[in-house]
Structure 1
Amino acid sequence: MKDNLQSHIVLIGFMGTGKSTVSQLLAERLGCEAVDVDAVIIDRAGMPIPEIFATKGEAAFREAETEALSEVLGRERLQVIATGGGAVLAQQNRELMLKFGFVVNLYASADLIVSRVSQDTSRPLLQGDVRGRVYKLLEDRKHAYDFAHCTIDTEQLTPSEVADAIATEWRLQR
């Protein structure tokens, strides 16, 4: 990390852990751009994520996710990058994140995640029994975020406090 002062800050974590919100706050603090990989995918595809899943399938979405992540991580200027919750599932994505960024896992309990995402109809993987789907996906992905440089438990912190904690950790790595 020490030799790459322009490495990006990459936020990973399960859906509903605050990646998009925190990325905006952190980018403001650091005077750089916040990039949401899901937004890049939507712009490129010209359709919302649920529609991508419905018309092209999850595999096509994951391929688009890797392409968008690769493009964003290839930029030279410092960015705070919010990934989708499943971006960590592909080994190639994990390798790219570690090569080009300081990776921070945002964590929250299953109950808090359920309360945050239960009314969000834009999450195709949560259609139907939200609580059951969250618990199943968390179990399936329980070690998927372990590669991060650090993990921050967002349970008792405001988004602003999370952004401050990440900025502190990032500066320590520089």
Structure 2
Amino acid sequence: MVIVLIGYMGSGKSAVGKVLAENLSCTFADMDDYIEEKEQKTIPEIFRDKGEIYFRKVESRYLQEILSGEKGAVISLGGGTPCYGDNMDRIKELADKVFYLKASVGELTARLGKEKDHRPLIKHLSDDELEEFIRKHLFERNFYYLRADSTVNVDGKTIEDIAGEIISGIK
């Protein structure tokens, strides 16, 4: 079974994915790590050196690669991955289950405010601009995120609780 986790940056996809894979005794793949390994650059370096358009093109190519190659895995995608090109169609076609980890604007603002320096899309934003940026992006991306098989609200829950909720949704 291939389980894919989608959601906005900071929603906990990587942290939950690791625990979920461990609980299911399967492999874990993080799309950002996969891209960094293939490109031999960090995501911020790719954005800086080649831009977002280049990044989205290679992201689509690697998405196909990782979804086609993995069997018995939990795959955590980047926040924007489902929202470009035909990526969400490909995800729905090749994954057995897709879970949207949904966090509120307030929760995301609090989490991402602490991580801005490591996030190329929000690095330049002031704290006041961050909430509005998140709100706008969630509105734009909601169409794609809501195509997931299940939505898991993550606000106020532990990583273990979220993983447990996903496991219950698989059975």
Asked if TM exceeds 0.5, the reply is yes
Q: Is the 8 A contact 1:73 1:97 kept in 2?
A: yes
1:141, CA displacement in angstroms?
1.8
Distance 2:39 2:156 in 1: 36
Asked whether 1:95 is paired with 2:95, we answer no
Map Cα deviations across residues 12-70 of structure 1 (whole Å, 9 max, x no partner): 00111110000000000110011000001111111111111111111111111111111
Find the counterpart in structure 1 of residue 54 from structure 2: 60
1:79, CA displacement in angstroms?
0.5
Find the counterpart in structure 2 of residue 166 from structure 1: 166
Q: Is the 8 A contact 1:125 1:133 kept in 2?
A: no
1:91, CA displacement in angstroms?
4.1
Distance verdict in 2 for CA 1:76–1:16, change over 3 Å: closer
What is the aligned-residue identity percentage? 35
Find the counterpart in structure 2 of residue 3 from structure 1: none
Q: Name the amino acid aligned to 1:74.
A: S
1:119, CA displacement in angstroms?
2.1
Distance 1:25 1:64 in 2: 27
1:49-88 map, 5 Å: 49-88=43-82
Question: What TM-score do you get using the length of structure 1 for normalisation?
Answer: 0.90
Higher helix share: 2
What stretches of structure 2 of length at least 5 have no aligned partner?
Answer: none
Find the counterpart in structure 2 of residue 117 from structure 1: 112
User: Secondary structure at 1:141's aligned position in 2?
Assistant: helix
Q: Name the amino acid aligned to 1:122.
A: H
Distance 2:17 2:65 in 1: 18
User: Secondary structure at 1:15's aligned position in 2?
Assistant: coil
Distance 2:121 2:106 in 1: 17
User: Secondary structure at 1:11's aligned position in 2?
Assistant: strand
Q: Name the amino acid aligned to 2:84.
A: A
What stretches of structure 1 of length at least 5 have no aligned partner?
Answer: 1-5
Distance 1:131 1:170 in 2: 33
Distance 1:119 1:16 in 2: 10
Distance 1:165 1:87 in 2: 23
Distance 2:114 2:158 in 1: 21
Distance verdict in 2 for CA 1:48–1:164, change over 3 Å: same
Find the counterpart in structure 2 of residue 21 from structure 1: 15
Q: Is the 8 A contact 1:49 1:122 kept in 2?
A: no
